[in-house]
A and B are shown apart, each in its own frame.
Chain A
Amino acid sequence: MVRSTSSQFKSNVKEALANEQLQHALKSIKTGFVAKRKIASERLEEFEELRDQARDIKTHTIAHMDVYLEIYQQNVEASGGHVHWAANEDEARAIILEICQQADAKTVTKGKSMIGEEIGINEYLEVNDIVPIETDLGEYIIQLRGEMPSHIIAPAVHVTKEQVAEAFKKTHTDLAPDRSLEDPDDLLSEARAMLRDKFIEADVGLTGANFLIAETGTSVIVTNEGNGDLTQTLPKVHIALASIEKIVPTLEDVTTLLRVLARSATGQEMSSYTTFSTGPRREADLDGPAEYHVVILDNGRTDLLAGDFSEMLRCIRCGACLNHCPVYNAVGGHAYGWVYPGPMGAVLTPGLMGLDEASHLPQASTLCGKCEEVCPVRIPLPALLRRWRDQVFERDLTDWKTKWGLKWWAMFAKRPALYHFLVGMKMQVVAKFAGKKGHFKSIMLMSGWTDSRNFPAPQGKTFQALWKERNK
C-alpha cells in the first residue's frame, strides 16, 4: 500500500494540533462548506427524500454489482472504448503505464482522482520517465509541495495563500522573482497561464470518475474548474480511473445522485461542469481523444462487499462527513495518514489497508453522529466505526493499559454493592483532595485528560445515592 502513516495517528495528531498555519486554514471549513451545505439543503424541499432515494439506488446497485459491471463493459466496448480490470494497485499502475507507453507519452495531465492517490500513480509514472501534471488547482498546489491531499474534494484546504505563493515562486522560476502574489487573483492567473500549455502538450489525459453508467457505458466527472474537461478532450488518449462501486444503473439514477452530490459537497445547486463521456472521438468529430480507456479497480473493495462493511460502498465521496466532523476539523486530513480522512476514511482505510495499519482511525471519533446526519446516501458511519472498534478489541489490537483498566473496572462493576460503596467513598476522598478549587490540574495516570484541560472534582453524593434518597 501507498505511503501510509495511519499507524502513527497519535503523533500525527500532536503535530497537527501544534501547527498554527494548519489550525488557521481549518477554520474556513465551518464558514465555507458547512454553512453552504445547510443553505443548499434547505433550499430544495425534497432534499431529504432525495437522500433516501440516493441510498436506495446505491443499495440496489451494490446488490447487483457484478451484472451492472458486465453490462457497463459491453456498452463501453460497443461505443469503441476499452475496459481494463485491476485487482489491486500494482495491476492498475501497470495497465496505465502500458497505455501511456503505447501512446509514447512524455507528459500526462491529470484530473483530480482519489483512486489515483490510492494507487500512487504519480510516483509510478515519474519512476518510469513520464511526467504527471496535476491540473486541479488544489492538486497542483499539493503536487508542488510534495504532499498528499488533506481533503477528498478540497485537497489543499490545509494550505494558506501565502504558502501557495511560496510554492509558485519556488516552481515557476521563469517568472520575475519579485512579482506580487499577494492577491489570490494573481495566484489564479498564474496557475491558469502555467497550466494552459501543459493541457495542450499532454499526450495522455488521466481522470477519475464520479460514476460509471451501465445503461450507456458512460463515465462521469464532476468538476468546477473545467480542468477535467481539458484533460480528457485535448490529448489523444483519455484514461478514466474508477473503482468498482462507482457503477450506477441508468441516466435517471445518476441524475438523482447528482442532485445530492454537489449540495452535500460544496453547497452548490450543481457543480459547474458535469461531463458524461462515452467512448472515443466519433468518425466525423473534430476533437476529442482517439482512444478511450477505463480502468476498473478493486483493491480490497470486494472484501468489504463480502463482510460487515458493504454499506461503505455507497459512498459518493462528497466530503460532507469530513466537513462536519469535530475530529477532522481539529486535526485536518494528513493526521489520518493515508488517502481518505475523516469519518469515511476511518471506516474505509481499515477495510482497504487492514486493521493492523489503521486500528487507530476508528477510535478517532466522538461518535457524535453528525457524519451520518449529513451523509447523502445515509451510511451509518458511527455504527460502522463501532464495528471496527469491536474488531480492534477482539483482534487484541487494543493497548495493554486500556485492557488492564477495563478488566479492573469490570471486577467491581460486576459486584454492584461493592461498586457503589467504593464509588461513594472515592467521591468523598477525591472531593476533599480537590479542596475549594473544585478541579484538578493534574492527576497521576490521567495526563491524557489533564494535559489539555482540568478534571472536575465530584460534588456531593453519587447519582445512585441521590436517586435512592428522592424515591423514599
Chain B
Amino acid sequence: MSSRESILGKIGAALNEAGEKETRYAAAAARIATPPKNLIPNRAQVPPDDQVQMFRDWAEEVSATTDRIENMDDLPAALTTYLSSQNLPSEVKSSEDPLLENVDWSQQPTLTRNCGIAEETDQVGLAVAFAGVAETGTLVLHAAPENPTTLNFLPETHVVVLPRSRVTGDYEATWKRLRDERNSNMPRVVNWITGPSRTGDIEQKIQLGIHGPRRLHIIIVDDV
C-alpha cells in the first residue's frame, strides 16, 4: 500500500464513524463549488473615496509611502520626483503591463525604463497592482508573462502603480474579480503585499528591508 493510501485510509477510518466518504465528498465539493461567504469586517464597507483614503492610511501605518496622481500621463514625472527624493538613480526595471506600455516615457528623458525580470543589480522594480485592499492597506499582485514576480522582491525599492478603480474594501472582492476575469484559473502566484520587508528577529525590534524591498512606494492613479 502506498503512503498516500495509508494516510487517506487512516483519516477515513477515523472519520467514517461520523458518516460515509461519499457524503463527505459531496459536502466538500459543494463548499468548493459555491464557497460560503464568511464574515467580512465592517471596517472597509465604506464609499469608494473613503476606501482609497483608508487604503493609504493603513499602507502608511506599515511604512509604505503613497502618492496620488490624476492619470497615467503624470506617472513618469511622479516617478522621477520620487526617485530623486530617495537619492536613487533614475532607472527602473519594469513590468510590461499594458498600462505602463501605453505611457509616453519620452517626456522624462533622464528616466530609463528597462523591462523584464529583476536581477541582482536592479535597484528599483516597477509593477502594476491587480488590486488594493482598504481593510489593511494590502496590495494584490499576480504573476503573468508581463508581470515577473522577481520585480516585487529582488530590488531594494518597489514602486507599485494602483489604479483607483482597483481599490476594494476587502480581500474577498479581489478573489471574486480574479475568478471572474480568469475563469477561475488561479495565477501561478498571487502576492498580498502589506508594507516593505521587515523583521523582528533581533530582540523583537522591528527593522525594515531584510530580504525583500526596503521601500514600498504606491502611486494611486485616479483616472485610468
Contacts and interface: CB of A to CB of B under 8 A. Distances in A.
Nearest to A25: B203
A86 B6 CA distance: 10
A57 interface: yes
10 contacts: A53-B39, A138-B201, A188-B209, A196-B120, A225-B212, A229-B152, A252-B175, A276-B190, A288-B188, A305-B15
Contact of B201 (A67, A136, A192, A217): A136
B89 interface: no
Given A225-B199, A250-B31, A252-B175, A270 B211 contact: no
B204 interface: yes
B116 interface: yes
Interface stretch (A279-287, A338-346, A362-370, A425-433): A279-287
B149 A288 contact: yes
Contact of B42 (A45, A138, A244): A45
B191 interface: yes
A94 to B, nearest CB: 11
Nearest to A282: B188
A469 B190 CA distance: 73
Contacts of A155: 201
A192 B117 contact: no
Contact of A68 (B28, B149, B186): B28
B201 A154 contact: yes
B41 A65 contact: no
A85 B2 contact: yes
- The residue in A60, A136, A191, A285 that gathers the most chain B C-beta atoms within 10 A of its C-beta is A285
A387 to B, nearest CB: 17
B85 to A, nearest CB: 21
A198 to B, nearest CB: 11
B120 to A, nearest CB: 6
B144 to A, nearest CB: 8
Interface residues of B, number: 77
Interface stretch (A123-131, A157-165, A455-463): A157-165
Contact of B38 (A79, A187, A253): A253
Nearest to A142: B201
B188 A85 contact: no
Given A188-B209, A226-B153, A278 B39 contact: no
A7 interface: no
Interface in B37-66: 37-39, 41-43, 58, 61-62
Interface in B164-198: 171-172, 175, 186-198
B3 interface: yes
Contact of B150 (A225, A234, A280, A296): A234
Contact of B8 (A69, A154, A199, A284): A69
A273 interface: yes
B42 A46 contact: yes
Given A45-B42, A192-B210, A253-B38, A85 B186 contact: no
Interface in B1-25: 2-4, 6-8, 10-15, 18, 21, 24-25
B36 interface: yes
A152 B118 CA distance: 32
A137 interface: yes
Given A66-B24, A188-B209, A270-B192, 17 more contacts: A28-B203, A32-B204, A44-B43, A46-B42, A64-B27, A85-B3, A91-B3, A137-B210, A196-B120, A225-B211, A225-B212, A244-B7, A256-B38, A266-B200, A272-B62, A285-B148, A287-B117
B29 interface: yes
Interface of A: 25, 28-29, 31-33, 44-46, 49-50, 53, 57, 60, 63-71, 79, 85-87, 91, 135-138, 141, 154-157, 160-161, 164, 184-185, 187-188, 191-192, 195-196, 199-200, 214-218, 224-227, 229-230, 233-234, 244, 249-253, 255-256, 258-259, 266, 268-282, 284-288, 296, 298, 302-303, 305-306, 310
A215 to B, nearest CB: 5
A168 to B, nearest CB: 11
Contacts of A156: 201-202
Contacts of A216: 186
Contacts of B94: none
- The residue in A29, A31, A225 that gathers the most chain B C-beta atoms within 10 A of its C-beta is A225
Contacts of B42: 45-46
B136 interface: yes
A333 to B, nearest CB: 14
Contacts of A33: 204
B212 A230 contact: yes
B131 to A, nearest CB: 13
A163 B5 CA distance: 47
B194 A252 contact: no
Contacts of B157: none
A218 B186 contact: yes
A258 B203 CA distance: 25
Contacts of B6: 87
B202 A164 contact: yes
B117 A67 contact: no
B93 to A, nearest CB: 11
A253 B138 CA distance: 18
A69 to B, nearest CB: 7
A273 B36 contact: no
B224 interface: no
Given A85-B2, A136-B201, A281 B188 contact: yes
A185 B209 CA distance: 10
Contact of A28 (B18, B24, B204, B212): B204
Contacts of B25: 67
B188 A226 contact: no
Contact of A224 (B15, B38, B171, B199): B199
Contacts of B76: none
B28 A249 contact: yes
A266 B202 CA distance: 14
Which 5 pairs between the two chains have the least Cβ-Cβ distance? A226-B212, A138-B201, A284-B145, A302-B10, A306-B14
